[in-house]
Chains A and B, each alone.
Chain A
Amino acid sequence: AQTVTQSQPEMSVQEAETVTLSCTYDTSENNYYLFWYKQPPSRQMILVIRQEAYKQQNATENRFSVNFQKAAKSFSLKISDSQLGDTAMYFCAFMKWVDDKIIFGKGTRLHILP
């Protein structure tokens, strides 16, 4: 069974700083997708970034980028120039190609301080 581990339950950084959220996963699959979702206090789940395992290039979306290390089964999220609106729970998630089952980590609560 696949597992997703987020080792940082909670983090705080000052506004405008850069922060990295860690995620590791365990799978025997070769083809899969990885995601980072953001959940602000509104409870809405919002996709931040997606990475296909077959792509070597790390995904980037504006201030958000990932460091995908397939051999190490690591998928960290870097937020540059952090903003107050980035305050939220962040979930790392894994999806196999073959059955679309999406498994989430326990989340990291991120506080951006003014």
Chain B
Amino acid sequence: NAGVTQTPKFQVLKTGQSMTLQCAQDMNHNSMYWYRQDPGMGLRLIYYSASEGTTDKGEVPNGYNVSRLNKREFSLRLESAAPSQTSVYFCASSATGGSTEAFFGQGTRLTVV
């Protein structure tokens, strides 16, 4: 009963390096999300995908790209990491229409030095 699985849990990058955060869900959900959480800022939506093959920008998309590889997987890519991208990143998924809750992964703590 995995739910939403994010990898890695922790990562340290140097400025300018690239990396991809992986997310997979096994609940057959249509909608998937990427958020970042910073102190005093709550959770801010980076990108979301309402269904396989579609993605849309959220509140803070600059510096990020996403891929909805299939219904299960939704990855977040940082092409050239910056210290401002130091944050905790959460992936989430939900069934269409808000009839059920959004389920969250355990988060990835990313530090860019």
Contacts and interface: CB of A to CB of B under 8 A. Distances in A.
Interface of A: 6, 9, 32-33, 35, 43-45, 47, 50, 52, 91, 95, 97, 99-107
A106 B42 contact: yes
Given A91-B43, A104-B43, A45 B90 contact: yes
Nearest to B98: A33
Most A-side CB within 10 Å, residue of B40, B41, B56, B98: B98
A95 B31 CA distance: 12
Given A101-B58, A104-B43, A35 B101 contact: yes
Contacts of A102: 33, 45, 48, 92, 94, 102
Interface in B87-107: 88, 90, 92, 94, 96-98, 101-102, 104, 106-107
B40 A9 contact: yes
Contacts of A32: 98
Contacts of B50: 99-100
Given A100-B31, A104-B43, A95 B88 contact: no
